[in-house]
A and B are shown apart, each in its own frame.
Chain A
Amino acid sequence: MEIIFQQKEKTYLSKSLDSFLINISQTTRFVGTYFIEVFRSPFEWKEFGRQCYKIGCNSLPLISLTGFIIGIVFTKQSRPALTDFGATSWLPSLIGIAVIKTLAPLITALISSGKVGSSIGAELGAMKVTEQIDAMDVSASKPYKYLVVTRVTAATLMMPLLMLYTALVGLMGAYINILVNEHTTITTFVIEAFEKISFLDFSGSMIKATAYGFTIGMVACYKGFTTTLGTEGVGKAANMAVVTSMYIIFIEELVIVQVLGWFR
């Protein structure tokens, strides 16, 4: 029942090293429990659906605006450099590669870590300090399954869909800028934008988005579940959910790009 270990007084190595090892062990146990619980029936479908709606649909307005503006700005700022080399016709390809391979997954993840991560961290943190999670525990209602499995699964599944949507909106923004300046037709733009995108590029972006979604959900739930120090702790949990997931997302970006490079 105690997923989070109680720190005992006894010091084994040194205080800081003990604390570090306990943290690692706690995190591993927390993440490991997900892979056991997610396959154990019954699944909390109703809560999962609610979380999918919250993470997916409620993020659409912010993602639409950000993706669209980034599409326009990126196109506008890339044009002068390409014009110098007389390569303006490469603009759709450049945008296609940039948006689908990097911008869409990364922007979706960073926005979601701010919006979704902080919301989950604060919600679970508040539930922890008001003993709502303990109340679920003592009534054998499996809080991990209800709160963590549903949120992490929803974030993991929604992130690739949000990434596709960001890519679409970003390309739309880019096309509007290209239409105004180069009068390119939509068909030509689409053909050129996707010309240099391979199946590996596309699936790589989907894998990245899935990994980012899992990270955001898991980090936020962990920070929420381990909240202490009352209301101050709730704010800290929300903040740490965002900051920690952003760090991990950038590290994952580096690792996944490196690994995908080996398959080219």
Chain B
Amino acid sequence: MITDNNISKETVITVAGVYKSFGNNHVLRGIDLDVKKGENLIVMGRSGTGKSVLIKIVCGLLNQDEGVVEVLGEDVNNLDTRNLEQLCLKVGFSFQGSALYDSMTVRENIEFPIERNFKNRTRKEVLKDVEMALDAVSLRDSMNQYPAELSGGQKKRIGIARTLALHPQIMLYDEPTAGLDPISSIEINNLINHIKEEFGVSSITITHDLVCAKTTGDRIAMVFDGIVQKEGRFTDVFHSDDKRIKSFYDYNFTQ
């Protein structure tokens, strides 16, 4: 169920009738969803239902076969390289495996996109941005460490810090709590909420973690067979009579 508050808000992401196939594997089959300004949309569903593919299409990493994806009013598929790069700066992507650059320290990881996109910034300004991003994830002490020296949870937070340094308007989280212990998961959930409140960032979070969905999500979209089967608030979605949604909920909370 969408609240009146959300309806009145500006839509920052619109996905309409998007299809995507890899060979004979039809991953997305006409999926529709939208994200309002300042909200966190949770996308849940079984593995292989195209959730990660969906957010990769949203940020322009993949092209859809059919359908329309609009991000901040721009049709992602029809942008030229220059405009797509400009849009990418407004959309942060937190990868499932963190995707930190192994050969660089944490500081260099965060500096890397800043130096390449804001060339007129002084060294001091870049460092200030790095410190701001690391403060946001409470990991300033790890500045000179290499990714190999960090824990899984720390890597995820540094990955988020790297995107935060570019001051995005939208964040896309790909399974932010996957593979983490409960304490680290809670830290990541708090961080997602903190980013939303502190920076006013809208986001899509792909997760299988119901605790993450419940604590961070404003709305939940359940994706099965490449389309959204149920959408609304956490309680509305999981009180559904749909067997697949019920089994998803039961499995998560009986584990």
Contact = CB atoms under 8 A, between A and B. Distances in A.
B176 to A, nearest CB: 14
A104 B238 CA distance: 71
Contacts of A127: 101-102
Contacts of A146: 116
Given A6-B22, A130-B99, A131-B99, A138 B59 contact: yes
A232 interface: no
B99 A140 contact: no
Given A8-B65, A9-B21, A140-B85, A135 B116 contact: no
B116 to A, nearest CB: 5
Given A7-B23, A9-B23, A134 B116 contact: no
Interface in A110-141: 126-127, 130-132, 134-141
Contacts of A134: 56, 61, 93, 95, 99
Contact of A141 (B60, B92, B116): B116
A142 interface: yes
Given A9-B21, A131-B97, A1 B61 contact: yes
A6 B7 CA distance: 36
Contacts of B113: 136, 139-141
B163 to A, nearest CB: 7
Contacts of A1: 60-61, 81, 84
A214 B232 CA distance: 55
Interface in B145-168: 159, 162-163, 166
B78 interface: no
B63 interface: yes
Interface in A2-25: 2, 6-9
B88 interface: yes
B241 to A, nearest CB: 35
Interface string A137-155: 1111110001000000000
Nearest to B23: A9
Contacts of A140: 85-86, 88-89, 113, 116-117
B123 interface: no
B112 A2 contact: no
A65 B126 CA distance: 45
Contact of B95 (A2, A7, A135): A135
Contacts of A142: 116
A134 B163 CA distance: 13
A127 B65 CA distance: 26
Interface in B95-135: 95-97, 99-102, 112-113, 116-117, 119
A7 B62 CA distance: 11
Interface in B58-75: 59-63, 65
Given A138-B91, A139-B89, A139-B166, A132 B100 contact: yes
A86 interface: no
B47 interface: no
Contacts of B101: 127, 132, 135
20 contacts: A1-B61, A1-B84, A8-B21, A9-B21, A127-B101, A130-B99, A131-B99, A132-B101, A132-B102, A135-B95, A135-B159, A136-B112, A138-B59, A138-B61, A138-B93, A139-B113, A139-B166, A140-B85, A140-B113, A141-B113
Interface of A: 1-2, 6-9, 42, 126-127, 130-132, 134-142, 146
